[in-house]
Structure 1
Amino acid sequence: MSIADVPRPANGHSALPADELPPEDGGFHREPPHDLEAEQSSLGALMLSAQAIETVAAVIKDSTDYYRPAHQTIYSTILDMYAASTRGTSIDPITVTAELTKRGDLAKVGGAPYLHTLVQTVPTAANAEYYAEIVREKAALRRVIEAGTRMVTMAYAGLDDADQIVEGAMAEVQAAATGTTDAIPLLSVADRWEGFLDELQAGTDPQALDTPWRDLNEIIELKPGQLITIGAATAGGKSLFGMNLAAHVALKRNKPALVASMEMGGSELMARLTAAEAGVNLDHLVRRKLTEADWGRIAKVADQLANAKNFVLDDSANLTLSKIRARMRWMTARDNPPAIVVADYLQLMTPEGGKATDNRAQQVAEISRGLKLIAMEFQVPVVALAQFNRGAVGRRPLVSDFKESSAIEQDSNIIVLLHRELAEDGTDTGPKAGEVEAIVAKNRNGASGRIVSLIFQGHMARLASFAR
């Protein structure tokens, strides 16, 4: 038995029975640290301001940071509603009441009147982050108490060697300090060596993802924590690249994928996905004029797409870094953490907390850095689609052609530049008509400067590989 085996509380309360809590002077029992007013004010702010939801969610990563189980339920419900929200959706006491009723949790949280009480408790929604910080700090103190309780229990039991108990105690303290329940990470070369040898013997990195294009896979692979930027001019194929890649991960590799799109709405995304997977002319789907042959092709992929719960298309308005984080947490809470995230496209994203004096280049630089931090925080590859400036038209692009910011080049682990030779009317022209050049302009862990030609099948919303 180890310290990790000592039961942890499921709802954030103390792990000890009341009669085993350390007594205060006079024999009274201490109550675990919490601030009821801060919890109420933070929850009330969520129902007053959508911006407060993003702010609080960035501070409070887990509903168990709230002491009261009712508050945990309310917080989880609001985050779920926000993550699933679409344009025009309102989150307020009325809509939260309706959602809690649907889930059968309304009575558990104190009924509709209590939700209105939460809103009335808020001095100002502008202080939502401050309230959330108080909630998080109290939760951290409770974790310290819980860790100490398990340490004391194991020390009294004496079921392990003293060295093992001490090592477990250190892990508990580390977990309490970082707000996680993980053991101390294995950081030394000695700790990492056997796992590294296993990867070498396997011949592949088990955490890496491939792409749908075999000849491109010979040059790059997508690894956790990486920011991969795909650049192209207008109509250059970057959205096709992003959707094809996400579909490959979700449908062919059966791993969850998230596409966060500011470029297209849900209906257009579904049309492109269906065209690519079924091999149906995209124009027939967009205009809703399908032939019998089209319906036959769609029927062949219908079951797969109907059950693709691991493939999430988010077309929320005003896409921000916080919304992407919220959607990723929403997927994770449903045991469906994304294995890849595609953001379409970077320059359309809304900056967070930017000053009025910030120019667009500064804002794009902050967004680029934020996507890199998300990749590292969640340990997934994040694929950012980016637009070229007008100076790139008519020639092969360079990494300096990204619209509005050079920071994209600095933040990216991999940069792939897509190039199509187009006539003034947007049609293919030149000796490589019908092709897209994928130029690997930056590859931090491999060869750069390589060019892979892909087949441009815009009528079926896909890019195909020349390699069989």
Structure 2
Amino acid sequence: MTRPDTPWPAVNEMIELRPGTVTTIASLPTAGRSTLTLNMALHNALKGVNTLYTSSELTGDSLTEKAVTAMYGIDLRHREAPLGGWEAFSDRAKAEVEKLPLLFQSVSETTPEKAFRKGSVESQRRGMKLSLWLLDTLVHFSELTHTGRDYADYATAMAQARGIAHEHQIPVVITAKALNEEEDEPLTAEHVHPDVMKLSDQVLLLHREGVYWTSGPTSNDATITRLKPATDPTEVVSLRFNPRLCRFAAFGINV
């Protein structure tokens, strides 16, 4: 049976997406964590891994368009015309993505348990036994409170995600916010919510220069740092982000 992994060999040396584990990818807003996990979902589906991708921010049609853009290297979202004409390509490419063992789920604010239950029912209807679940992003699946950092109950949401990973013996990948106070403050494990750090088996930090503190990132050079399990020296991998094509290199799929 094909085991889930990431599209980037250097990242696969950092982490292992083992059944029953929760891996969190944290970043400042707009760093690209949704695209990063979408790349992971598409990569695994193309290998035949039954994958559920749950988003609180994008519709199923938007996710399909981003997947087509990443898979074919053609910007479907801005109607970049491929050879042979727009309509023919769009119909064919979307059909190819929809044939993959990849279920895109767009849900409003809820909990991990409710979201997974809904996605699991749909996957069973399609004859898919899930082997990987990606949840984007944690804050939208955490009940709001009036105390504590971010005013969200991350402890309960993370506990639910861990329960799903253990019960169904699948790896669960979650995206979460990292928060810093000043523009030049280097991101560390201290900038990830303590409940997220505690209840994750593995934590990766995605970073791009200029994210959050300016009108947009100042560079498409990205780094992924492993925060948990911690190592000395800290493990860091460099990637190149292409926002227009929804890809982090080396995402080497180009049909």
8 Å contact from structure 1 (residues 276, 460) kept in 2: yes
Task: Letter of the 2:226 partner, please give it.
Answer: V
1:448 to 1:238, Cα distance in 2 relative to 1, 3 A: farther
TM-score (norm 1): 0.48
**What stretches of structure 2 of length at least 5 have no aligned partner?**
none
Deviations 1:379-432 (CA, angstroms, capped at 9, x unpaired)? 111101001124274443212212xx311001111100001112723142xxxx
Can you give the 5+ residue segments of structure 1 that lack an aligned partner in the other structure?
A: 1-205
Pair 1:380-2:170 in alignment: yes
1:304 aligns with 2:92: no
Tell me the CA shift for residue 326 of structure 1: 3.1
Q: What does 1:112-261 correspond to in 2, within 5 Å?
A: 208-251=3-46, 253-261=47-55
Equivalent residue pairs, number: 246
Code of the aligned partner of 1:323 = A
Question: 1:34 maps to what in 2?
Answer: none
1:148 is matched with none
Aligned CA-pair RMSD: 2.8
Aligned to 2:109: 318
Task: Identify the structure with bigger relative contact order (alpha carbons < 8 Å, sequence gap 6+).
Answer: 2
Structure number with greater Rg is 1
One-letter amino acid of the counterpart of residue 412, structure 1: S
| Structure having the larger proportion of residues in helix | 1
Preserved CA contact (<8 Å) 2:142 2:152: no
Contact kept? 1:228, 1:384, Cα under 8 Å: yes
In the alignment, is the contact (CA less than 8 A) between 2:67 and 2:97 conserved in 1?
no
- Greater strand share, 1 or 2? 2
What percentage of residue pairs aligned between the two structures are identical?
A: 24
Q: Does residue 408 in structure 1 map to residue 193 in structure 2?
A: no
Once the two structures are superposed, what CA deviation does each residue of 1:35-69 show, in whole Å capped at 9, x if it has no partner? xxxxxxxxxxxxxxxxxxxxxxxxxxxxxxxxxxx
Q: 1:389 aligns with which of 179, 193, 206?
A: 179
Separation in structure 2 between the aligned mates of residue 427 and residue 358 of structure 1, nearest angstrom: 31
CA distance in 1, matches of 2:225, 2:99: 35
In structure 2, give the amino acid aligned to 1:400: E
SS of the equivalent of 2:134 reads: strand
Match of 1:276 among 70, 84, 96: 70
- Using a 3 Å threshold, how does the CA distance of structure 1 residues 333 and 299 change in structure 2: closer, same or farther? closer
Q: Secondary structure at the match of 1:225?
A: coil
Q: Deviations over 1:112-164 (max 9, x none)?
A: xxxxxxxxxxxxxxxxxxxxxxxxxxxxxxxxxxxxxxxxxxxxxxxxxxxxx
Q: Give the TM-score of the pair, scaled to structure 2.
A: 0.84
Q: For residue 466 of structure 1, report the CA deviation from its aligned partner.
A: 9.0
Q: Secondary structure at the match of 1:391?
A: coil
Alpha-carbon offset, residue 290 of structure 1: 2.9
Q: 1:450 aligned to 2:235? A: yes
After TM superposition, the structure 1 = structure 2 runs for residues 320-335 of structure 1, keeping only pairs within 5 Å, are 320=111, 321-332=113-124, 334-335=126-127
Instruction: Name the CA shift for 1:277/1:393 in 2 (closer, same or farther; >3 Å).
Output: farther
